[in-house]
Amino acid sequence: MNSTDRRIYDCFLIAAGGLSLGPKIGWQLMNEYFSCASDIVSGNFKKAPDEDCDTEALESFITKSRGAAADSRRREAAEKAIERYIEFGEKLSREYGQQVRAQVLTIFDEGYPEALRHISNAPIVLFMAGAKFDAKSENFAVVGTREPSNYSLALCEKITEGIAGAGYVIASGMAMGIDACAHAAAIKSGGVTYAVVATGLDIVYPAANRKLYGDILLSGAVLSEQLPGEGAKNYSFVARNRIITGISKATLVCGAGFQSGALISAKCAFEQSREVFAITGDDFRPDLKGCHELIRKNYAKLALNSADILNDICPEKIKKSRLDQSETRAFKKDKKADATAPLEFDGSRAGALSEDEKKVFDSIERLCVKNSEPPALELIAENSEGLGAGRVLAAISGLELKGLIIEHDGKRYRINK
C-alpha cells in the first residue's frame, strides 16, 4: 500500500471509529502532538506530552484510535466505504464532468474549513463533493423547521437572498422545509451554498431533494463526516448540526418548534460563540414558538430582514448586497406609521381565528414579506384561494378588530407587529 492509499485508508478508519465524537482534545492539542491523520491511527507523537492533563487526554484518544484500528468490523466498514467512495467519484465524473469532484479532508489539511478547526470535537475527517468549495469562505447558516408556515418560508427566502447577495456562502442541512428553502434561495440569487448532510455523500436524504442535491453540487458543495454508504441515524443529525454552525460566522433560526433540530443548532452556535439570530411572528404559530423562546432568553437577536443581520455581523457588506434598498426605505416608513399604532399587543388576547381569518392573515404576511410594502385589498383577495371578495372583507374586518392587522391609505393592510 503506497502512502496515498495509506492516508485514504487511515482517514476512513478514523471515520469508521467515530473518533471525532470521542474525547474532546481539541485542535490545539491535536496540532501540537500529531502531524497527520495517519499519526493518530498509529499513535505516533511529534513529541512527548508536556503536561499531565495533556497526557491524560491524549492517552484516552489514542486508546480509542488503536481500538478502531484493531477492530475487524471497523476495518471492514472502512474498506467497504472506500469502494463506495470510488464508485461515487466515478459517478460524479460521468454526470457532471471534472467540475464536480469528491475529496477526503482531514483537520490537518489546508483545504479543511478554517472556522471548523476550532470548535469543540471538530470532525477529524470530512468528506466533500462539489464544484465550489473554499476552506476560507465566509459562511452563514440558515436552519429551521421541516414544517414551516408560508410566512417563515417567505421570510427565509428573502433574508437568505440578502445574505447571499452580500457575499456569504449559505450553509444548511438539506432537510425539507427551511433548509431546502435556504439552499434554493442562495442558488436562485446566484450565490454559493454548502449542505452538511447526516448521511454518506452518496446517499440523498430525503430522496425528495434529489434535484436540489444536484443543484448544490454545481452551486457549492456537500459535506459529511459520515462514511459513504452510511444511512441516516438519530445521532448523526445532532452531530451534523455542530458542523453547520461550526463552519459559519452566524446562524439564523428561521422557524423552530419547542422541540426541534433547529434549536439544537442554535445551542451549538451559542456554545461555539457564534452570533445567533431568529425571526419572529405571531404567538399562535407553532413554528415560531422556539424562535420566540430564543429571543426571550437572549440566546438570539431579532432579525426582521437581512439588513438587521448584516448591520450586526459585517456593516460594510450592506452596500455590497444585491438587494433592492427599497426594503430599508419601506421599513423606515413603517416605523413612522407605527407612531399611531398600539405600542404593545398580546396575541393571546386575539382569541381563536376563523379559517377565513387564518387564510387572509397568511396571505397578508406572505405578501408583506415578498413586496416590502402593505398589499392592496385586490392582491390579498387574489392570494386568498377559495375565498370570494365578501369573505375576504369579513375576515379583514375581524382581523382589524382583534388588532392583528392595520389599514393604510388605499385599502392596504399590514401586520401589526
Cis peptide before 206 (omega within 30 of 0): yes
In this prediction, residue 4 carries a pLDDT of: 65
In this prediction, residue 325 carries a pLDDT of: 44
- In percent, the amount of the chain with pLDDT more than 90 equals 51
Q: Which of 141, 143, 109 is nearest to 123 (CA)?
A: 109
- How, if at all, do strands 125-130 and 101-106 pair? antiparallel
Asked if residues 3 and 39 have their Cβ atoms less than 8 Å apart, the reply is no
Residue 379 pLDDT > 80:
yes
For 334-370, what is the HEC assignment? HHHHHHHCCCCCCHHHHCCCCHHHHHHHHHHHHHHHH
Residue 400, all three cell numbers? 382589524
DSSP string covering 234-272, please?
A: HHHHHHHHHHHHHT-SEEEE----SS-HHHHHHHHHHHT
Residue 351's pLDDT band, with cuts at 50, 70 and 90, is low
In this prediction, residue 395 carries a pLDDT of: 86
Separation between Cα atoms, residue 161 and residue 150, nearest integer Å: 17
pTM assigned to the model: 0.78
In this prediction, residue 367 carries a pLDDT of: 87
In this prediction, residue 343 carries a pLDDT of: 27
Instruction: Tell me the CA distances in angstroms from 218 to 130, 215, 227, 240, one per residue in order.
Output: 6, 5, 22, 21
Separation between Cα atoms, residue 110 and residue 121, nearest integer Å: 18
Residue 318's pLDDT band, with cuts at 50, 70 and 90, is low
Residue 88, all three cell numbers? 461515487
Separation between Cα atoms, residue 303 and residue 199, nearest integer Å: 31
**Residues 260-308: pLDDT tens digits?**
788 889 999 999 999 999 998 877 778 888 999 999 989 999 998 899 9
Region 130-159: what's the mean pLDDT? 93
Q: Which of 326, 281, 266 is nearest to 148 (CA)?
A: 281
Burial of 121 (0-12, 13-18, 19+ CB in 10 A): middle
In this prediction, residue 286 carries a pLDDT of: 83
DSSP string covering 36-69, please?
A: SHHHHHHT--SS---SHHHHHHHHHHHHHHHHHH
Region 303-323: what's the mean pLDDT? 79
In this prediction, residue 338 carries a pLDDT of: 38
Separation between Cα atoms, residue 62 and residue 256, nearest integer Å: 39
More confident residue, 323 or 56: 56
In this prediction, residue 103 carries a pLDDT of: 95
On average, the pLDDT of the chain sits at 86
Q: State the amino acid at position 386 in one-letter form.
A: G
In this prediction, residue 21 carries a pLDDT of: 66
In this prediction, residue 135 carries a pLDDT of: 95
Beta bridge partners, 406, equal 414
How far is Cα of residue 20 from the mean position of the Cα atoms in its chain?
A: 21
- Asked which of 29-38, 57-66, 102-111, 129-138 is least confident by mean pLDDT, the reply is 57-66
Residue 23 pLDDT > 80:
no
Region 304-321: what's the mean pLDDT? 81
In this prediction, residue 333 carries a pLDDT of: 39
- Contact residues for 82 (Cβ-Cβ < 8 A; gap 6+): 8, 9, 12
Residue 184, all three cell numbers? 434554493
Region 103-129: what's the mean pLDDT? 94
Residue 165, all three cell numbers? 447577495
Phi-psi label, residue 302: left if phi above 0, alpha if psi -120 to 50, beta otherwise: beta
Separation between Cα atoms, residue 58 and residue 33, nearest integer Å: 9
Domains belonging to the chain, first-starting first, are 3-96 (no CATH), 137-198+233-323 (3.40.50.450), 327-415 (1.10.10.10)
**Residues 358-370: pLDDT tens digits?**
889 988 888 887 7
Residue 102 pLDDT > 70:
yes
What number of other Cβ atoms are within 10 A of residue 233's Cβ? Answer: 12
In this prediction, residue 408 carries a pLDDT of: 80
Asked if residues 101 and 91 have their Cβ atoms less than 8 Å apart, the reply is no
Residue 245 pLDDT > 80:
yes
**Residues 154-213: pLDDT tens digits?**
999 999 999 999 999 999 999 999 999 999 999 999 999 999 999 999 999 999 999 999
Residue 2's pLDDT band, with cuts at 50, 70 and 90, is low
In this prediction, residue 394 carries a pLDDT of: 80
3-state secondary structure of 301: strand
Separation between Cα atoms, residue 374 and residue 334, nearest integer Å: 9
